[in-house]
Amino acid sequence: MEKTFLMLKPDAVQRKMIGRLVQRFEDKGFELLGAKLTRMTMKQAEIHYAEHAGKPFYGELIDFITSGPVFAMVWQGEQAIAMSRTMMGKTNPLEAAPGTIRGDYATDKGLNVIHGSDSPESAEREIANMFEPGELLPSGPPIASRSN
Ligand code: RTP
Ligand code: MG
């Protein structure tokens, strides 16, 4: 069982896409461990995108991700990281296949609707950056089979 951090970016929240995007991950069989509508602080944005610091698009990226509320989520599932990135589609909208989230909803490399962790290490860091431990259900067996 793997955990991943998925985040609906300001363009998705502004376009009122939260419901239909959450639906895709529920339909796939992932389980939601926590979620919140929040605005990323500058500090959180810098931690979240630390790997891109210094790149030509970095300033634009930070401006965009802090420009409005995001919907931050933690999901669990078998191979949740790779599977959710497949569901998201490629970063470049020209390469994002129809049927994927970006393929269906994004035309811009920056305003691309959703973020998903790219490794277990990134997931840990990204989750800790946006959630207190008490805000999340513990990961583990399917929630339906738990006794509390
Ligand atoms: P994300 O981190 O947002 O989930 O996206 P990703 O893994 O598909 O792409 P990544 O390489 O991590 O890049 C992070 C975000 O930076 C913007 N970007 N712009 N202009 C460019 O060449 C360029 N490259 C990346 C995108 O908005 C991407 O989501
Ligand atoms: Mg990335």
Give the ligand at the shortest distance from the Cα of 96. Answer: 1
Q: Give the residue-averaged pLDDT of 73-100.
A: 97
CA distance 70 to 4: 16
- Please state the φ and ψ torsions of residue 146, each to the nearest 5 degrees: -85, 155
CA distance 104 to 87: 11
The closest of 15, 2, 3 to 114, measured between CA atoms, is: 15
Could you say which DSSP state residue 104 is in?
H
Q: Tell me, what's the pLDDT at 140?
A: 78
Q: What is the pLDDT of residues 94-109, one digit of tens each?
A: 999 999 999 999 999 9
Which range of residues forms the domain containing residue 75?
2-133
Q: Give the residue-averaged pLDDT of 31-41.
A: 98
- Which two tokens mark 100? 């994927």
Which run of H or E residues covers position 2?
strand 2-8
Q: Is the CB of 77 under 6 A from ligand 1?
A: no
Contact in structure between 101 and 88 (CB atoms under 8 Å): yes
- Which two tokens mark 128? 């800790």
Beta-sheet pairing, 2-8 with 70-77: antiparallel
Among 16-20, 72-76, 108-112, the minimum mean pLDDT is found in: 108-112
Task: Please identify, by atom number, the ligand 1 atom nearest to the C-alpha of residue 88.
Answer: 8
Q: Give the residue-averaged pLDDT of 29-46.
A: 98
CA distance 67 to 24: 25
Looking at per-residue confidence, does 27 or 139 come out higher? 27
Using only the alpha carbons of the chain, give its radius of gyration.
15
Task: Note whether residue 146 is domain-resident.
Answer: no
Mutation test residue for ligand 1: of 51, 64, 91, the one with most atoms within 8 Å of CB:
91
Q: Is the CB of 112 under 6 A from ligand 1?
A: yes
Active site amino acids = 115
Q: Which residues are annotated as a binding site?
A: 9, 57, 85, 91, 102, 112
Q: What's the CATH code of the domain at 66? A: 3.30.70.141
Mean pLDDT of the chain: 95
Give the ligand at the shortest distance from the Cα of 100. Answer: 1
Among 21-35, 107-121, 134-148, the minimum mean pLDDT is found in: 134-148
Task: Note whether residue 148 is domain-resident.
Answer: no
- Please state the φ and ψ torsions of residue 115, each to the nearest 5 degrees: -115, 145
Q: Tell me, what's the pLDDT at 2?
A: 97
Position 147 pLDDT exceeds 70: no
Q: Across the strands, what pairs with 31? A: 76
Compute, in angstroms, the gap from residue 56 CA to the centroid of ligand 1.
12
Q: What is the pLDDT of residues 131-146, one digit of tens each?
A: 999 999 988 777 677 6
Q: Tell me, what's the pLDDT at 148?
A: 58
Q: For the chain, what is the domain count?
A: 1
